[in-house]
Structure 1
Amino acid sequence: MSARTQEDLRILAGAVIVPAVLGLALSVIWWAAGGDGTFYMTVSLPWLPFAVGLLISALLLPALVTLIAMRRHVEQVRRRTVQEQTASRRRLLARLDHEIKNPIQGIRAALADEPSERQRASIDAQSQRLTSLLGDLRKIGEVEHTALELTTIDPAALVEEAVATITEAPGAGERRIAVSLPTAPRPLPPIVGDEDLLFLALVNVLTNAVKYSAPGDAIEVRGRAAEDVVVLEIADTGRGIAPEELDLVWEELGRAQEARSVEGSGLGLPMVRAIVERHGGTARLDSWHGEGSTLTLSLPAAGPTSGG
């Protein structure tokens, strides 16, 4: 029996037994002192404290049982959360070990003999990969803990800027990129947020759409207002993600099987979700393997309720 269970039983026993025992003691003292009388001719007055104690015990019992059940539920949720976080950290460390070990092994192999020009180029590429990986890890830490610089943002202008930036990326010119935002009669309302971080999130999503699609594929950026929320959708006709791997891509350094042939760190989507959630919004990914994906970002127009 665990210490927590023993404590719960002690509380339950004390709450049920103490009032009854205390009432019984008072009744015995009253009776021994020669007390007499009746109460509505149903309860002898000396035994009234005992009856009251029993009544209190009966009233406390359901409340205490409910309280103990709630405590156990909260403890189970806390324990399950800790276990999930521990498992997530272990997966992250395993992936980090893999991602760092490969470039280091490549560098060591290139340095085994006098490096040639090709080997020097390999060393430089692996070093850049490590630098990029560590930089992305640092960005996620900053996104999760740095104070937001909140301003009023025109989401349409933000989207146009992100699309203009991504058109300069390698391969973007070979995709059919289209933007569909409402202009009349009611354009997208302004939102409150950190413009730099939201721009970073959009660029990351668009970069993924370019990287995991083929020349000639379509990439669409759509927007709409829903009550007090601005919804942005980035859709593509790329390779898509298998259903069993949808949860994986939200984890740090997690990558779908088919995506591992494409250069990347597996930190883009976790960073996007961290940015959106800090703004009080949500990020949802719908994907159809072999057909494409749609990433939906929902941002409250009023911004984060607690200032981020």
Structure 2
Amino acid sequence: MLSKINIILLLCAVCCIDKSSTEVSRAIPVELVETATSVRKEDEDSTSTVNINLDEITDDQWKSIFIKHDTDKSGLISSKELQKLVFDEFNGFLPVDHADIYTKKINLNDNTNINLEQLKKWSPIIFFLTMKESFVENENVNENDTFSSESFVEVIKRNTDAKILFPDGEGISELLDLNVKWPIKWTRVEEILKMFADTVAVANIYKGFCIIDEDHDGFIGVDELVKALSEIDSDKAIEELDSEESAIKAKKSVTKMIMEGDINGDGLIEFYEYMLVMNNDYKQFKESNMNFYN
């Protein structure tokens, strides 16, 4: 089991996963609700075609998913293809520009395309993209209300996380281009809004990685992690870190943590390894019955 230091970092990195992080106005204006008397059965359902634990996906399943979304049969998946893959297969939302950023970190170069092995490294990112544990206000909303694509756009323009993802309104069309059959019911709107919260959460985890990676070389070393911990002065678990004895103890703990998370044995934590650590710690955190939201 990884150290408590990891949990501290996780709490800091995922600071936006909060029960109030995703909100829409308490009442959806009646003019945005469609008056359609019926909705096709397929419109009510999630578009996800894979409903298994990410940890249980076999190599053959990853290969099948990859081939399905490698539409040009190039042996590589582009950021746009990856966006569709995440949405169709895992019911999560990944903006193309975010896909570009994370892929470069996984590839350790400026290439924004991925092969099958690199797709597998997306697993811990996809995990956080598909948690859907955020809270969405739905007071005065009838679960049978339906929304056209136009009315849905108006709803997400008022959503806190959507404003973060699409500050100038650009990019909303990315979602409209995905496999959504309009009109949709409020339950599907709610599900999509939770996707936005997860997308913002991953962006904050990435931000945490970049803050710790002070020299921006794409890796986290022992000294960088120790320094990051020394700047977290609100947690009693690392108080008095400035004393020599505490600093030595912290460095040993951080070195041990990096060794545990360092899959390729280079003494550093790259972005994929960092996401894997965050993933594992979050699962352990939940399994230990600790209330992450309080």
For the criterion TM > 0.5, the same-fold answer is: no
Structure with more contact order per residue of length (Cα contacts < 8 Å, sep ≥ 6): 2
Query: Which is greater in Rg?
Result: 1
TM-score normalised over the length of structure 1 = 0.21
Which is richer in strand? 1
